[in-house]
Amino acid sequence: MKDGFAQDLARMAQILHEQPDVEQTAERFLEFVLTALATNHASVVLTQRAGRLESAVSTDALVEEADRLQVELGEGPTYDAVQEERSVVSGNAAADERWPRWSAEMTEVALRSVLSVRLRTPTRTVGVLNLFDPATDRFGESDDVTAQMYADHAAVAVANARSESSLWEAIDSRRLVGQAQGILMERFGLTDEQAFAVLRRYSQDNNVRLREVAERLIRTRKLS
């Protein structure tokens, strides 16, 4: 039993590291966890800057709504798992006094039990695994232990996928900005620095990301 469990974790780790992006890494992770915990409802939520949370993947519309409400209201088991750096379990999400606003909204969502487990590396929490079930009191200590073992093995793969995605996005952004600068330089006889200053000023004045300004100029050949 233990050998089979260890082999499953090792196989999962290998498969996750082969995935091309964060979303597919999270999706494959959920496949393993759902089988191990014998439930059908789960999600992976990623931590962002300034304490923000962002859903990476969810199994269904019910879970998506439960996570959306947490983000919208700024409370719930996912937030507590991150802030308190521990797993959080609720036997009835629709009647849990720890999150009064979220629980009130969850009366309309057909999910009751929830287990939130951190995806943690040695230096930070990269996300949270949320497990849901329509039945009350579905998850116990053994579920927490099992889920945490899977989450610990997945955390490094998720963190690496995020870093790689961020790197490629940064490279792509620089490429787009360079193309946009070239258009302005050719059209108006600007230097490289002057063209970048035009793009940056438009970005700041209109509260639009520099990458989006560059994409628009390349696509339409105009800034507005």
28, 78: one domain: yes
Q: Report pLDDT for 117.
A: 98
Give per-residue pLDDT as tens, 81-133: 999 999 999 999 999 999 999 999 999 999 999 999 999 988 889 999 999 99
Does residue 142 sit in the same domain as residue 187? Answer: no
Considering the domain architecture, whether residues 186 and 125 belong to the same structural domain is answered as no
pLDDT, tens digit (0-9, with 9 covering 90-100), for 2-11: 667 888 899 9
Q: Are both 59 and 153 inside the same structural domain?
A: yes
Out of 129, 151, 166, pick the residue that ends a domain: 166
How many residues appear in the chain? 224
Total structural domains in the chain?
2
d(CA 117, CA 36) in angstroms, rounded, equals 14
Q: 105 and 174 share a domain?
A: no
Enter the pTM of the model: 0.72
pLDDT value for 53? 93
Low-confidence ranges of the chain (pLDDT < 70): 1-3, 163-172
Based on the fold, state whether residues 98 and 6 are members of the same structural domain.
yes
Residue 120's domain is classified under what CATH number? Answer: 3.30.450.40
Same domain for 157 and 185, yes or no, is no
Q: What is the pLDDT of residue 110?
A: 98
What is the extent of the structural domain holding 179? Answer: 168-220
99 burial class (0-12, 13-18, 19+ CB within 10 angstroms)? buried
Residues 93 and 145 in one domain: yes
